[in-house]
Amino acid sequence: MSNLPNKISIDSSVLLSYYLGEELGKKAKFLLFQNIDTKFYITLNGLTEIFYILCRNLDFQIAKNKLDTLLNTNILQIESSTDLVSFAGTYKCTRAISLSDSFVIGLAKFIKGAALFVKKEDELDREINKTPFDVQIFFLEDLNIEYEIGE
């Protein structure tokens, strides 16, 4: 597996790729459920995104059930401190990225870990190329993760 840090802030897109049955969701499933050496963190904002996107794409009750099940697995630690707000706000103030991406990257800095997104999107990629962030940023699409096709 790739050399990932043991603390990772995940973007909602990582879990959504799994829940929506996307190809990269197979990597996400393996990474989240088979990688016992890594702690995964998410913000309340990230959980809200997961819920509303599942609700829009699938159904309210399905979204609720999936979120309840996710929260009961204990694979994610939820962060919502005021220090996190400062880190995320600083990234949003100084970078041309979405508020959600600011929270994912701010959380990575807060936990002294890395940030994980599904794939490079234009606005985040532009900012990385302009001036690298002060935390590591990984993309699921770039990770060399071996998983069985049936997973």
Q: How far apart are CA 98 and CA 123, in angstroms?
A: 8
Confidence category of residue 55, pLDDT binned at 50, 70, 90: very high
CATH fold label, 7-142:
Rossmann fold (3.40.50)
**pLDDT, position 151:** 46
pLDDT by residue (tens digit) across 65-91? 999 999 998 889 998 888 999 999 999
Residue 31, by phi and psi: left (phi above 0), alpha (psi -120 to 50) or beta? alpha
Q: Where are the domains of the chain?
A: 7-142
Query: What letter would DSSP give residue 149?
Result: T
Q: Which two tokens stand for residue 141?
A: 């699409």
Q: How far apart are CA 28 and CA 30, in angstroms?
A: 5
